[in-house]
Amino acid sequence: MLERHEVETFLTLAEELHFGRTAQRLRVTTGRISHVIKKLERHVGAPLFERTSRRVTITAIGRRLAEDLTPLVEQMDAALLRAITAGRGVTGRLRVAFLGEYVAPVLSKAVTLFTARHPDCDVEVREVQLYNSRASLVDGSIDVLIASFPFDGMANGPILMTERRLLAVPADDPLAAEKSVSLEVLADHPVIQYPEMTSEEFKKNRTPSRTPSGRPVPKGPPGTTFSEMLSLVAMGRGVLPVGEQTQRYHPRPDIAYVPIRDAPPIERGPVWLESNTTAWVLEFVRAAADSVR
């Protein structure tokens, strides 16, 4: 009989095909991953992976084992979640929230589909701000939030939206006349900062401390809300990388939005507290994913 950690290690390595990334996901050492896989291969009596100094590939036996185990693990997880949900006394109420007007239409579609599938569950919809989005998840005020990735310390659902990045600059700034800019220009201008309580990984992603070449990025003043941050841009206190939907939902005569040509896209989707993974939460995440297909 296989132990749960052995199955989890095997399936994660089968997905990642990289010992380092597998160890990082499972929060153990690469030595521990290697030990578990070798033990499992001895139990099976055949190699499950082929390793070289450059790559890891899964064998035919390993692939078949992964295909057989995956649905079994999913069924076990579903059964456990049903038990946890029953133990917590689910009231038939789900509280969902959005951060930013641009994700509201996506949330609306998800709520509509979820409600059609589960009419016995009452869905409350709220809006949160930068300063209270994380706290609302932690204190249980909301169950699921549609927001930007990454959101460290939280479970993240599938990507529902992607958008290119723009740089918000004062309308009278010379950058406003450019067709596009590089991330390197961040080293030449103060960058408006997000509130202190915002997710650290999110801030690193949106307002990095260094450019791709390693140049330090000067910090501008922080804002409490997104509108306040844009006002700081308009007043010439700094620039701010934003998503392209900002141009549509926050058009301002005193701000210009310039495409950043070498920046990766912004990704948005559902976020929730790992310890609050109820059956309702997972069903809503599934509905959200289905609603954008």
Q: Do residues 260 and 176 both lie within one domain?
A: yes
The DSSP bridge partners found for residue 191 are 219, 239
Give the model's confidence band at 89: pLDDT under 50 very low, under 70 low, under 90 confident, else very high.
very low
pLDDT, one tens digit per residue, over 22-48 is 988 887 889 999 999 999 999 999 999
User: In 17-103, which residue ranges form alpha helices assigned H by DSSP?
Assistant: 19-26, 30-44, 60-88
Q: Read out DSSP for 4-41?
A: HHHHHHHHHHHHH--HHHHHHHHTS-HHHHHHHHHHHH
Judgement on whether residues 223 and 139 belong to the same structural domain of the protein:
no
Same domain, 114 and 248: no
Do 153 and 272 share a domain, yes or no?
yes
Instruction: Give the pLDDT band (50/70/90) at residue 1.
Output: confident
Residues 189 and 242 placed together within one structural domain of the fold: yes
Mark whether 48 and 133 lie in a shared domain. no
263-276 pLDDT, tens per residue? 999 999 999 998 88
Residue 91 pLDDT greater than 80, yes or no: no
Please tell me which of 55-59, 184-188, 289-293 the model is most confident about, judged by mean pLDDT.
184-188
Virtual torsion, Cα 151, 152, 157, 163, nearest 10 deg: 40
Measured from the Cβ of residue 140, the count of other Cβ atoms closer than 10 Å reads: 11
Shared domain for 81 and 108, answered yes or no, is: no
Overall number of domains in the chain: 3
User: The domain containing residue 106 runs over which residues?
Assistant: 91-161+268-291
Fill in the DSSP letter of residue 260.
Answer: B
Q: Which of 52-61, 67-76, 80-89 has the lowest mean pLDDT?
A: 80-89
CATH of the domain at 281: 3.40.190.10
Measured torsion, CA atoms of residues 64, 65, 70, 76, in degrees rounded to the nearest 10: 150
Please give the Cα distance from 70 to 11 (Å, whole number).
8
